[in-house]
Structure 1
Amino acid sequence: MIKKIQLPLQTANLVVGFMVWVLISSLLPFITEDIAIAPEKLAIVTAVPVVLGSILRMPLGYYANVFGARIIFMISFILLLFPVFYISETSSFTGLIIGGTFLGIGGAVFSVGVTSLPKYYPKEKHGLVNGIYGMGNIGTAVSTFAAPVIATQIGWSATVKLYLILLLIFAVLNFIFGDKAEVKSKAPMIEQIKGVYKNEKLWFFSLFYFITFGSFVAFTVFLPNFLVTYFDLEKVDAGMRTAGFIVVATLLRPVGGWLADKFQPLFLLMGSFAGLTLAAIILAFSPGIGLYTVGSILIASMAGIGNGVIFKLVPFYFNKQAGIVNGIVSMMGGLGGFFPPLLLATIHSMTGSYSIGFMAFSQVALVSLVLVVWLYYMDRLSLSKEVFDSTGQGILVTNSDGKIVSVNPAFTRLTGYSEEEVVGNNPNVLSSGRQTKDFYAKMWNKIGEVGHWQGEIWNRRKDGREYLELLTINAVKNSAGDVERYVGTFSDITPSPKEGDRS
Structure 2
Amino acid sequence: MTKKLQLPLQTMNLVVGFMVWVIISSLLPFIQEDITIPPERIALLTAIPVILGSVLRIPLGYFANLIGARLVFLVSFILLLFPVYFISEASSYTELVIGGLFLGIGGAVFSVGVTSLPKYYPKERHGFVNGIYGAGNIGTAVSTFAAPVIATQIGWEATVKLYLVLLLVFAALNFLFGDRKETRVKTPIISQIKGVYKNEKLWLFSLFYFITFGSFVAFTVYLPNFLVTEFNLSSVDAGMRTAGFIAVATFMRPVGGFLADKFDSFKLLIGVFTVYTAAAVLLAFSPSIVLYTVGTLTIALSAGVGNGVVFKLVPMYFQKQAGIVNGIVSMMGGLGGFFPPLILSMVYGLTGQYAIGFMLLSQVALASLVLVVWMFYQNKIQLQADVFRSTAQGVMVTKTDGSIIAVNKAFTDLTGFEENEILGKTPAELKSGKQPPEFYSTMWQHIHEKGSWEGEIWNKRKDGELYLQWLTISAVQNDAGEQERYVASFSDITEYRSVQ
Does the TM-score normalized on the shorter chain lie above 0.5?
yes
TM-score of the superposition, structure 1-length normalised?
0.97
How many Å separate the matches in 2 of 1:398 and 1:355? 55
SS in 1 for 2:473: strand
How many Å separate the matches in 1 of 2:212 and 2:495? 61
Matched letter for residue 410 of structure 1: A
Alignment of 1:95-494 (within 5 A): 95-494=95-494
Residue 472 of structure 1 deviates from its aligned partner by 1.0
Mean Cα deviation higher: 179-188 or 348-357: 179-188
Cα deviation code 1:275-316 (max 9, x no counterpart): 110110110010000000000000000011111111111112
Q: Where does residue 25 of structure 1 map in the other structure?
A: 25
How many Å separate the matches in 1 of 2:393 and 2:404? 17
Residue 437 of structure 1 deviates from its aligned partner by 2.7
Matched letter for residue 35 of structure 1: I
Alignment of 1:68-87 (within 5 A): 68-87=68-87
Matched letter for residue 328 of structure 1: I
How many Å separate the matches in 2 of 1:37 and 1:190? 41
The change in CA–CA distance for 1:20 and 1:491 in structure 2 (over 3 A counts) is: same
Residue 499 of structure 1 deviates from its aligned partner by 4.1
- List alignment gaps of at least 5 residues for structure 1: none
How many Å separate the matches in 1 of 2:240 and 2:490? 68
How many Å separate the matches in 2 of 1:208 and 1:240? 28
SS in 1 for 2:33: helix
Residue 135 of structure 1 deviates from its aligned partner by 0.9
SS in 2 for 1:5: helix
Matched letter for residue 196 of structure 2: V
Residue 5 of structure 1 deviates from its aligned partner by 1.4
- List alignment gaps of at least 5 residues for structure 2: none
Residue 463 of structure 1 deviates from its aligned partner by 2.0
SS in 1 for 2:257: helix
How many Å separate the matches in 1 of 2:480 and 2:385? 25
How many Å separate the matches in 2 of 1:22 and 1:353? 25
How many Å separate the matches in 2 of 1:370 and 1:267? 12
Q: Where does residue 16 of structure 2 map in the other structure?
A: 16
How many Å separate the matches in 2 of 1:463 and 1:171? 71
Mean Cα deviation higher: 293-302 or 304-313: 304-313
Residue 2 of structure 1 deviates from its aligned partner by 1.7
Cα deviation code 1:162-221 (max 9, x no counterpart): 111111111111111111121212221111112222222111111111110001000001
How many Å separate the matches in 2 of 1:483 and 1:276? 43
How many Å separate the matches in 2 of 1:494 and 1:248? 64
How many Å separate the matches in 1 of 2:498 and 2:263? 51
Matched letter for residue 195 of structure 2: G
Residue 495 of structure 1 deviates from its aligned partner by 5.3
How many Å separate the matches in 1 of 2:47 and 2:152? 24
Cα deviation code 1:85-119 (max 9, x no counterpart): 11111111111111110000000001111111111
Identical positions, percent: 70
How many Å separate the matches in 1 of 2:172 and 2:494? 73
Matched letter for residue 441 of structure 1: S
How many Å separate the matches in 1 of 2:455 and 2:10? 62
How many Å separate the matches in 2 of 1:170 and 1:395? 59
Residue 245 of structure 1 deviates from its aligned partner by 0.2
How many Å separate the matches in 1 of 2:299 and 2:254? 16
SS in 2 for 1:486: strand
How many Å separate the matches in 2 of 1:363 and 1:49? 26
SS in 2 for 1:90: coil
SS in 2 for 1:468: strand
How many Å separate the matches in 1 of 2:498 and 2:63? 64
Residue 47 of structure 1 deviates from its aligned partner by 0.6
Residue 458 of structure 1 deviates from its aligned partner by 2.2
Residue 478 of structure 1 deviates from its aligned partner by 2.1
Cα deviation code 1:214-269 (max 9, x no counterpart): 01000001100000001111111000000000000001111111111111111111
How many Å separate the matches in 2 of 1:72 and 1:499? 65
TM-score of the superposition, structure 2-length normalised?
0.97
Residue 438 of structure 1 deviates from its aligned partner by 2.3
Q: Where does residue 7 of structure 1 map in the other structure?
A: 7
Matched letter for residue 458 of structure 1: W
C-alpha RMSD over aligned residues: 1.5
SS in 2 for 1:392: coil
The change in CA–CA distance for 1:431 and 1:181 in structure 2 (over 3 A counts) is: same
Residue 149 of structure 1 deviates from its aligned partner by 1.0
Matched letter for residue 368 of structure 2: S
Structure 1 segments (4+ residues) deviating >4 Å: none
How many Å separate the matches in 2 of 1:37 and 1:495? 86
Q: Where does residue 37 of structure 1 map in the other structure?
A: 37
Say if 2:63 is the partner of 1:63.
Answer: yes
How many Å separate the matches in 2 of 1:374 and 1:128? 25
How many Å separate the matches in 1 of 2:144 and 2:153? 15
Residue 331 of structure 1 deviates from its aligned partner by 0.7
Matched letter for residue 372 of structure 2: V
Cα deviation code 1:337-382 (max 9, x no counterpart): 0010001111110111111111111111111111112112212222
SS in 1 for 2:186: coil
Q: Where does residue 94 of structure 1 map in the other structure?
A: 94
Cα deviation code 1:23-51 (max 9, x no counterpart): 11111111122222221111100111000
Mean Cα deviation higher: 433-442 or 142-151: 433-442
How many Å separate the matches in 1 of 2:433 and 2:445? 20
SS in 1 for 2:343: helix
How many Å separate the matches in 1 of 2:4 and 2:410? 48
